Amino acid sequence: MVEAARGEAGRARRPGSRAGPARILDRMGRRDRNRRMDYSRRTFIKSGVAAAAVAGSGVAMAAEPKKLALGFDNFSIRAWGWKAPKLLEFAAAQKCDGVLFSDLDVYENHGEAHLKQVREQAAALGLFVHAGTGSICPSSGAFRDKWGDAEAHLRVCLKVAKGLGTTVVRCYLGTGRDRKSEGGIRARIADTVKALKAVRSEALDLGVKFGVENHAGDMQAHELRDLIEEAGTDFVGATIDAGNAAWTLEDPVANLEVLAPYAVSGGIRDTMVWTTENGVKAQWAAIGEGNVDMALYFKRWGELCPEVPVVLEIISEYGKNIDWKRPEFWEVYPEARAADFAQFLKLAESGKPKDGFQGKGKEAAQEFQMAELTRSIKTCRKEFGLGRTG
């Protein structure tokens, strides 16, 4: 698969020649047809089991589904530097249903008394709270030892989750750079699984699930699915990031289809994807301002994981060039799948260039982030019917 793509990309660099996406897809497809058929069989079996469970439960189906709960990740407005209490006040003012505190520095401290205050404030405002942190993979370039080694870091997360009374802790492996590390992304997945398994019993005792995010181009959906299943679905799930899906050659809708059965939280934003000379560019955007089919996305979310809140992470400052026509590009995607890549290219064909953040300074960043988030909340409520509050 990689050699085929590399060969096509090499020809694209010769004068008078062009890379042929159809040729690349055809050659890639020869390697993954059986694998996709196997996944389809497993998906069918899982869906059948789930349907049987609902049918045999004796629970009447609601005439109309509940609205999806709507929250946001505090990283969306990080330039404001707000701590947890202020963020909860803001969430209530925006008529959101909850907040994902995606870092461990958002609290004044990790003492029981302070975490109890945050928990009680959230309860009084009728808000859910998800806890979170950064990289938990000890061999990732993104890992930081501020909280100790990987196991100690995870135990700090469990302590915070217990204090907040939440059952969800968002975390991630690393970034796209880890795909270039020794052993590739599979080696980093193995290290992450090992770290998670070390705290399995404590997580189960607390009823907490670690929601591993597909983060900054580190894993494709099938790779994150494998991580979750290898670690154990009884205490590990997925934090689905729609924007990061586009950074790993995936249409966010296709990414959702794979990860929804494991979902516990989200990091949702729109993305504008368009073709470039060397491949495509993916520029993150406020909801409704990219070319992802967000109406379909939220429809499928409601069908596949309706009790999981849609958590917005609007970070429109960032974009990424995905130069798939360059021969070296495919070296870090040995398991790339033809069907997923074809759907991604189709998405790119409908896009057009879009600028990211052009301002300078803290105040400009604050204004930009606040406008992007509040506009996205409004769009989610008015255009897509999200949110249970108000």
Nearest to 76 by CA among 384, 296, 373: 373
| pLDDT for position 44 | 38
**The pLDDT of residue 21 is above 80:** no
**The pLDDT of residue 43 is above 60:** no
Ramachandran angles phi, psi of 99, nearest 5°: -140, 140
What pTM value is reported for the model? 0.86
| pLDDT for position 106 | 98
**The pLDDT of residue 29 is above 60:** no
Arithmetic mean of pLDDT, 236-241: 98
**The pLDDT of residue 13 is above 60:** no
Arithmetic mean of pLDDT, 150-155: 98
**The pLDDT of residue 11 is above 90:** no
Q: Cα(182)–Cα(293) distance, rounded to whole angstroms? A: 36
3-state secondary structure of 168: strand
Give 24's pLDDT tier (boundaries 50, 70, 90). low
If you write DSSP's letter for every residue of 223-267 in order, what string do you get?
A: HHHHHHHHH-TTTEEEEEEHHHHHTTT--HHHHHHHHGGGEEEEE
Arithmetic mean of pLDDT, 131-156: 98
Q: What is the 3-state secondary structure of 336-371?
A: CCHHHHHHHHHHHHCCCCCCCCCCCCHHHHHHHHHH
As a whole number, the mean pLDDT across the chain is: 89
343-367 tens-digit pLDDT: 999 999 999 999 989 889 999 999 9
- What domains are there in the chain, each with its CATH number? 2-10+21-32+68-382 (3.20.20.150)
**The pLDDT of residue 215 is above 80:** yes
Q: Which residues pair with 70 in a beta bridge?
A: 310
User: H-helix or E-strand containing 194?
Assistant: helix 184-197
| pLDDT for position 47 | 42
91-137 tens-digit pLDDT: 999 999 999 999 999 999 999 999 999 999 999 999 999 999 999 99
Q: Cα(152)–Cα(341) distance, rounded to whole angstroms? A: 38
Arithmetic mean of pLDDT, 303-311: 98
| pLDDT for position 27 | 57
Gap between the terminal Cα atoms of the chain: 51
